[in-house]
Chain A
Amino acid sequence: MKKLLISIILFITFLIIYFLQANFFSNFTIAGISPNLFIILVLFIGLYANQTMGIIFGIVIGLFLDCIYSKTIGPSAIMLCIIGFLGAYFDKNFSKENKITILFMVVGTTAIYEFGLYSIRSIILQYDFEVIDFIRIVLIEIVYNSLLTIIFYPLIQKAGYTIDRNFKRNNLLTRYF
């Protein structure tokens, strides 16, 4: 029952993030580049809930974004699914207690997501891969995402532990050994 409630809350969080991204961050940019909060959300779900949740949320959010904006359905879903999977992988292999570790995870997943998405799109839609401009965009996005992670880290950690307690009740502590 609690798991269902948490899933509903996470979905509502996604909707809030969507409206923030569409209305607020589209105007509040760094050098014309807006952050990508969906990456942080899916990484966070994979990290604190479990692999299945991370992958399911990744696919659902990705499909939603593809359906709304893109001509091709699938690229965002594939990449966010990978981010959800990576979140769970990071959970098994790294500690979530350290802010720096979380920050590195955000930097890595943002780079992987954007590179993957841009590559898939450039292949499907047959446009030139503009390396320098792409790197510039991704670097600014990474900085923006990292800043938001630092700002919201206390909230992420608090909400994360609540999710963690409900999804991983049986293997607390022992899973690190």
Chain B
Amino acid sequence: MGNKGKSSGILGSVIVLVLLILLIFLSNVDNNKLSYLENIGAKVTTPVQKILSDISNKIKGNSSYFSSLEVLKKENEELKNKNSKLETELRELEVLKAENKNLQEYMNLTEKYSAYEAIPAYVINKDISNYSSNLVINVGSKDGIEEDMTVIADKGLVGHIISVEEKSSKVQVIIDPASTVSCNISTAEESIICKGTLDNDQIIRATYIPTGAELIVGDSIQTSGIGGIYQKGIFVGTIKEIITTNNSIDRYAIVEPAVDFSKVNTVLVIKK
């Protein structure tokens, strides 16, 4: 009896010792070396656990998993709503900014041309043809617009009204090939004719230059008031290049308009 108890005590101690050694050994082994074992375990247990977990959730009804998902969905919905509200506000702010910019342009224009009674307008359409540059503005006969009224922008002359509808008007711009404007050179009192050209939609051609007139690159050109359409003294542009020919009568100058016609959005129509 005594021997049996002694031997089982020794066996128990050996088992405990072996277990402890195994524990120490396993706790010091690199985890990665055991990952294949974990994988095997996971492969076996995961599907079963998933099925069991699903069954459990279904039995419970409103399980915590689903309830947290519901909460997340709700939160997501709320955040989406907030986001769309913020986007709308941002868009409104951008519209206000653009309006503010336009109003400032109007202010600058009206201050600059305070001597004239003018109607502000927006450009709503531009000619799609490749050899015509007419504009359509958002004011018409209802606003008191008439044919042949002068149209100006912040930096200078744009053109004149060629056709009026009830709520819109067509403007023939000075760069249009059909446009001719009687002008003066700043350094001389000579009159010249500025014509639109097909060559480039950002230049006009100064022709009929008097033989005695001395042109200098950089001279500013302004309307002469001759012809009855444009008022006198509106800035048209500056001389960019002078083209001389054998015959001095044929010489002409390239004038860079003051207004950038690709960017013109706000204009003033001068009442007669």
Contact = CB atoms under 8 A, between A and B. Distances in A.
Interface of A: 21-22, 25-26, 32-34, 36, 65, 68-71, 114, 117-118, 121-122, 125-128, 130, 133-134, 137, 141
B172 interface: yes
Interface in B181-197: 195-197
Most buried by B among A65, A69, A141: A69
23 contacts: A22-B125, A22-B128, A25-B128, A26-B126, A26-B128, A32-B201, A33-B130, A34-B128, A34-B130, A36-B130, A68-B125, A69-B170, A70-B170, A71-B162, A71-B163, A71-B172, A114-B130, A118-B131, A121-B178, A133-B199, A137-B130, A137-B131, A141-B130
B132 A121 contact: yes
Chain B interface, DSSP helix/strand/loop, else mixed: loop
Interface of B: 125-132, 134, 136, 162-163, 170, 172, 177-178, 195-199, 201
A134 B127 CA distance: 17
- 4 nearest CB pairs, A to B: A133-B198, A125-B178, A130-B198, A71-B162
B198 A70 contact: no
Given A118-B131, A133-B199, A127 B177 contact: yes
A69 B176 CA distance: 12
B86 to A, nearest CB: 28
Contacts of A128: 177, 195
Contacts of B170: 69-71
Contacts, number: 59
Contact of A69 (B136, B196, B197, B201): B136
A31 to B, nearest CB: 10
Contacts of B130: 33-34, 36, 114, 137, 141
B198 A134 contact: yes
Contacts of A32: 201
Given A69-B132, A70-B134, 10 more contacts: A69-B127, A69-B128, A70-B170, A71-B134, A121-B178, A122-B177, A130-B177, A133-B198, A133-B199, A137-B198
A153 B125 CA distance: 30
B131 A134 contact: yes
A130 B132 contact: no
A68 B178 contact: no
A130 B199 contact: yes
Contacts of B125: 22, 68-69
A128 B178 CA distance: 8
Given A22-B128, A127-B178, A69 B134 contact: yes
Nearest to A117: B129
